[in-house]
């Protein structure tokens, strides 16, 4: 990787914050955008904007062609042979809710079980609580060990005769823990249990081949993948597509509408109601092409090296409590400081040094309860971050420690 060139592709990285060079370590919440994505969005709005699928005029044809081309880009990015298994949406939250309402709700009865890990993001928890509240579905939780690792065998052992779905993250947005989702999917398939994988973080930090993983659903969100907010997709296995009911009703997802009935469109259009995020999706496609041009293997290698360096520096601070110490983790670090300093106070001090981190519960309430904390600071790295930025983070943390000690 030509790191200097990559950093030059992201214009915001050249700015200062509070008189200091920006050190952006909030990638787990949302990544910055390369100039090619910004240019694609600007061009789409400035020269090529029109609604898709509905018009025969030139602008509508251009917008439709560019929008629909993204489906194939996502399929290639995820290792999917049939792009019709890719449903475009606004991001992981919509994708998981689509599965909850369109696939799970019609086929789950009181007492049926959904297995979750304690590391799940609220987007992969709350929709299942809806089913618990409204249909009597039981949520079965699998804990992580003392290092923050999730043993896939514990997930497999939790499968019982009432299990109807496993919903698990590929990579924790708090701990950076990598999960062996392939092992879970292989075993679940033998038992006839579908698996939904939350790939919001996993697809950012490692190469993904969903057909090799063998999952039934795989959700991604564009703004974490260096694309615009309001963009995303979910892969749905052909067998599950045939079982799934439409999540929302409106234009595009129908063929015919009459007073006494309707005829649905074929998948994936059957699940894409209304005017979509046209420009956001076009920008998302450009972002994925940018990532593939850099190379997912190269990105993963760079971030793994960065993670190793950060672990070395962070564990050298004996007053810093690092949450999640498993060896197999991505460059995502959650921590607290000894004493009474709140995560929000620590984040504010770091911001004064130009270092952007996230502070709070990170939409992972059950994991915070498991860890015995109310909030942490989180430094999450991306392809454009450097070892010198790790050093800047350490310097800022030392200042925070001095102030609060």
Edge-to-edge strand order for the sheet containing 376-380? 320-323, 332-337, 376-380, 358-360
Residues 6+ apart with CB under 8 A from 76: 292
Q: CB–CB of 54/269 below 8 Å? A: no
Task: Show the tokens assigned to 9.
Answer: 């592709």
Q: Quick one: DSSP state of residue 137?
A: P
Q: Distance (Å, rounded) from C-alpha 77 to C-alpha 74?
A: 5
Phi, psi values for residue 128, rounded to 5°: -80, -30
Q: Distance (Å, rounded) from C-alpha 313 to C-alpha 332?
A: 14
Three-state DSSP class for residue 115:
strand
Q: Is residue 185 flagged as an active site residue?
A: no
Q: Tell me the pairing of strands 376-380 and 358-360.
A: antiparallel
Q: Distance (Å, rounded) from C-alpha 203 to C-alpha 122?
A: 18
| Prior bond of 268 cis (ω within 30°) | yes
**From 185, 215, 363, 377, the catalytic residue:** 363
How far, in Å, are 149, 235, 392, 403 from residue 324 at the CA level?
8, 29, 22, 25
Q: Distance (Å, rounded) from C-alpha 303 to C-alpha 331?
A: 6
Q: Show which residues are catalytic.
A: 363
């Amino acid at each position: 990787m030509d790191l200097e060139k990559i950093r030059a592709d992201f214009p915001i990285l050249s700015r200062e914050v509070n008189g200091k060079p920006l050190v952006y370590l909030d990638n787990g919440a949302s990544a910055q955008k390369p100039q090619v994505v910004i240019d694609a969005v600007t061009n789409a709005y400035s020269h090529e904007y029109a609604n898709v699928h509905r018009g025969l005029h030139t602008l509508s044809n251009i917008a439709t062609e560019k929008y629909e081309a993204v489906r194939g880009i996502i399929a290639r990015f995820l290792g999917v042979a049939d792009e019709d298994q890719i449903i475009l949406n606004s991001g992981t939250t919509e994708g998981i809710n689509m599965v909850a309402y369109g696939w799970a709700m019609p086929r789950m009865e009181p007492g049926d079980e959904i297995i979750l890990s304690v590391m799940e993001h609220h987007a992969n928890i709350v929709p299942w609580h809806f089913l618990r509240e409204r249909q009597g579905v039981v949520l079965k939780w699998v804990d992580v060990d003392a290092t923050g690792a999730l043993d896939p065998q514990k997930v497999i052992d939790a499968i019982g005769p009432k299990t109807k779905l496993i919903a698990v993250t590929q990579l924790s947005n708090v701990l950076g823990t990598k999960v062996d989702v392939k092992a879970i999917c292989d075993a679940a398939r033998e038992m006839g249990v579908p698996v939904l994988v939350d790939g919001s973080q996993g697809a950012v930090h490692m190469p993904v081949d969903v057909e090799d993983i063998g999952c039934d659903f795989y959700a991604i969100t564009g703004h974490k993948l260096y694309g615009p907010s309001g963009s995303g997709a979910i892969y749905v296995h052909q067998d599950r597509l045939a079982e799934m009911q439409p999540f929302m009703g409106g234009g595009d997802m129908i063929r015919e509408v009459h007073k006494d009935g309707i005829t649905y469109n074929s998948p994936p259009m059957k699940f894409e109601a209304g005017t979509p995020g046209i420009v956001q999706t076009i920008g998302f496609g450009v972002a994925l092409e940018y990532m593939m041009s850099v190379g997912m293997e190269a990105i993963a290698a760079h971030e793994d090296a960065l993670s190793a360096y950060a672990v070395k520096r962070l564990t050298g601070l004996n007053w810093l409590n690092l949450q999640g110490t498993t060896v197999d983790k991505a460059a995502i670090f959650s921590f607290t400081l000894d004493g009474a300093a709140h995560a929000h106070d620590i984040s504010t001090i770091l911001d004064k040094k130009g270092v952007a981190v996230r502070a709070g519960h990170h939409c992972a309430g059950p994991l915070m309860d498991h860890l015995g904390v109310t909030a942490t600071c989180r430094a999450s790295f991306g392809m454009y971050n450097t070892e010198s930025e790790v050093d800047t983070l350490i310097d800022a943390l030392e200042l925070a420690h001095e102030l609060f000690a």
